[in-house]
Structure 1
Amino acid sequence: MKASTFVYPWDVNGDPEAPARIAALGVRQVTLAAAYHSTRALTPRHPRHRIVTAEHAAVLYPMDDRWAGRQLRPYAAGDWAPGDAYGEAAAALADAGLEVHTWVVLAHNSRMGAEHPDTSVANAYGDRYPWAPCIAQPDTRAYLIDLAAEAAVRPGARGTELESLGWYGLQHLHAHDKTGGVGLGDAGQYLMSLCFCPHCRTGYGEQGLDADELAAAVRTALEPVWQGAPSDGGWAAIEKLLGETNATATRAWRDDTARTLQEAAVRAVRAAAPDGFQVLLHADPVSYHCGANAGVDPEHILSVADGVVVPCAGGPGLLTPFVEQGGVERGSVERGSAVIAANFTVVSGMGGSPATLSADLARARELGATEMRLYHAGLASDGDLEAVRAALTAS
């Protein structure tokens, strides 16, 4: 299987040994960040630094003039990725024989939420989530679609992986996060991620719901959860807490909002890209899930994009719904050629298990994965990278 590893530009720029070291792992491709959220990242081998603090979401290349005069626009990176940091790193990686694809984070931007609070998801209590742009809002959708096209199609890139192209909800590792005091299960996370901004309130109305009554129903449903009652059990638990009619209507609104955004973003990328450019989404096969791996309908998303990158840190089980739909007809993709990439964390300190990677890859292949992704060559220790190299050599 084709293997790719995730990389940041700051892992490569200023370290002349980085491209060859990454190529020596046995990967054929790198997925290189072109637009990324705020982060604090370790760089354990870089000759100039050990910690990089990306203070806000930013594009890691010079923006073009499509953003002139627009209120919502990307932010330029600071000294953690100056100039065309993406382009510099991409050229060095390509010179080492690696195929470069862009890594584009979309609906996850705390600075935009801080500077333009009305763009953020607002929960049933009136709290805003500044890290989570509401993807129902027309201006936000236009921003995300244009960002996808610009950041994905960088010079020399052979494809892209679009992350956070869907709803972002409560679950987010914010600075000094203190939200773990109550165990919000799947149902609680969903209820706390429902948006009540003006656009979503209108959307609920189009589904036959009164937004004020729905918000009150959400608060009532969550009251036992705040007192310690469990809220696991998937969609059935959501229907039990919120009522089947309310739950079904909210999901219909949110699913349609996400699907149409995904369709528009992929169209925009394809329009800007050369022939043969690969478009993948980071995706979860449960459409009501929120986060970096956007909840999708597997059949629908494989009718839109060339494939998906599927989180496998908890095991490869999430691959199956996509594999089962991998042969559907798609506009520009031949039958049966969908990319189903299994994404494994290989950083021990972040919960990964590089020591079991050979077995994990074998199991993913058995389940139908066509490619693999390894998170993350820049963050991993030397020991983790050695385990990755051994696993890829064995496979």
Structure 2
Amino acid sequence: MVNAVAYLYPWDVLGDPRAVDRVAALGVNRVALGASYHAVRAATPLHPRHRIVHATHGALYLPVPERRWATAAIRPRTAAAWTGRDDSFAAARDLLRARGLEVDAWVVLTHTDPVTPTGFAPRNAFGDTYGYGLCPAFREVRDYARTLVEEVMRAGAPDGLIVEACGPMGAGHQSEHEKTAGADWDALDERLLSICFCAACTDLMADPGGARSAVTAAVGTGRFVPDEVAADVLAVRSTVTAALRDEVVFAARAAGAAGAARAAGAAGRLGFFADADPWAVGPAAHVREKGDFYIASAWDASISRVAALRASVTGRVAAYVTILPPTVPDSDRLTRDWQGLIDAGADELHVYHAGLASAARLDAAARALRNLKEGNP
């Protein structure tokens, strides 16, 4: 049986005396708990005190010490407005651990919110700013990511770290009330519109003017840019993604080795949302080295991303699956789909999301995980 990890926000646990038992009943052995997350309006269908939590901006679910962030160009904000405290990650972590569950800190890096200084946001070839993101080509963004990880490891003392959005954001990620579907952009158009032309990226390009012209001319034509332009912009993306990853790895390894969570000598694990596609942007970037495990998006139950990632990395591979719509809460179907992902090379199932799901969806997931454990696909 592969390891199973349930995803949660701190507010799913706090104030609900039954939350931890529900999560444990799923049959998971770990929880990925939000430690730094973007704005979200989240349902809490089984919580006794509320049904909706509106996190109005991206936040760190741990204290934001002035001494660490006073001179930072980009700094996180507190989540106390909707959690009632500035240490909700730590409080929820302790409740989960008391039930015997290990807790990985789930950190989102470059997906932020419009409150972020727009000077560090990605820009497409037309000059449009993607205010929900940070471009890792900027030194200030990498400094922010490193400090954020250091603080999560120090103050959060997790059993491991899961990093989402360790690379540039693209055109396809949702923002506010998204109104882009009618443009009928295909995958090629989205790839073109996801090429960043911010000041930091253009400084790294061999011919930024030529690349910009080639991209703007190609959007909507069904054609991509010439090979030499593609090689130039892809080299920049690979360079800045690797630089961001290296900052995260250094911070996590150094802080983890010295942190309270490592007191017993255990080495905290480090995982990245990842994609084998070198053009990948958004939550899962093209990160294939220096982690302990890599998480492939498998919300559609397709084995292709899992198989591709399995073939391209040497660490463990996890399949990121959802029990939310459009997934049907049918335990037999979930069992078959998840077994297929395991057969494709998944060592872990990462289940999204134990706080957002109804009782029927949680029950279907629990039955499916039990079927897999008992060898009844």
Cα distance in 1 for partners of 2:30, 2:19 equals 14
Q: Which of 306, 314, 317 is equivalent to 1:319? A: 306
Cα distance in 2 for partners of 1:76, 1:287 equals 34
TM-score (norm 2): 0.91
Q: Identity over aligned residues, as a percent?
A: 33
Residues 135 and 167 in structure 2, CA contact (< 8 A), matched pair in contact too: no
Cα distance in 2 for partners of 1:42, 1:93 equals 20
Amino acid at match of 2:317: I
Structure 2 counterpart of 1:98: 101
Count residues in correspondence. 358
Q: SS at 1:121's partner residue?
A: coil
Cα distance in 2 for partners of 1:280, 1:365 equals 18
* 2:244 is equivalent to residue 261 of structure 1: yes
Q: Which moved more, 1:11-20 or 1:76-85?
A: 76-85
Residues 29 and 99 in structure 1, CA contact (< 8 A), matched pair in contact too: yes
Structure 2 counterpart of 1:178: 179
* 2:275 is equivalent to residue 284 of structure 1: yes
Structure 2 counterpart of 1:128: 129
TM-score (norm 1): 0.87
Q: SS at 2:203's partner residue?
A: helix
1:344-383 alignment to 2 at 5 Å?
344-347=321-324, 350-355=325-330, 356-383=333-360
Aligned-residue CA RMSD in angstroms? 1.5
Deviation at 1:112, TM superposition (A): 4.0
Flag structure 2 segments of 5+ consecutive residues without an equivalent: 258-265, 373-377
C-alpha deviations, 1:352-373, integer Å up to 9, x for none? 2442221122112211211111
Cα distance in 2 for partners of 1:43, 1:49 equals 7
C-alpha deviations, 1:75-103, integer Å up to 9, x for none? 11142222211111111111111111110
Structure 2 counterpart of 1:3: 4
Over 3 Å off, 4+ runs: 152-156
Residues 273 and 295 in structure 2, CA contact (< 8 A), matched pair in contact too: yes
Cα distance in 2 for partners of 1:362, 1:246 equals 41
Cα distance in 2 for partners of 1:358, 1:153 equals 38
Residues 118 and 129 in structure 2, CA contact (< 8 A), matched pair in contact too: yes
Cα distance in 1 for partners of 2:74, 2:115 equals 8
Amino acid at match of 2:82: W
Residues 43 and 52 in structure 1, CA contact (< 8 A), matched pair in contact too: yes
Q: SS at 2:131's partner residue?
A: strand
Deviation at 1:388, TM superposition (A): 0.7
* 2:213 is equivalent to residue 216 of structure 1: yes
Deviation at 1:71, TM superposition (A): 2.7
Structure 1 counterpart of 2:262: none
Residues 34 and 103 in structure 1, CA contact (< 8 A), matched pair in contact too: yes
Amino acid at match of 1:277: G
Flag structure 1 segments of 5+ consecutive residues without an equivalent: 232-239, 328-337
Residues 34 and 152 in structure 1, CA contact (< 8 A), matched pair in contact too: no
Residues 57 and 111 in structure 1, CA contact (< 8 A), matched pair in contact too: no
Deviation at 1:187, TM superposition (A): 1.6
Structure 1 counterpart of 2:194: 193
Residues 137 and 200 in structure 2, CA contact (< 8 A), matched pair in contact too: yes
C-alpha deviations, 1:10-37, integer Å up to 9, x for none? 1110101100111011111110000000
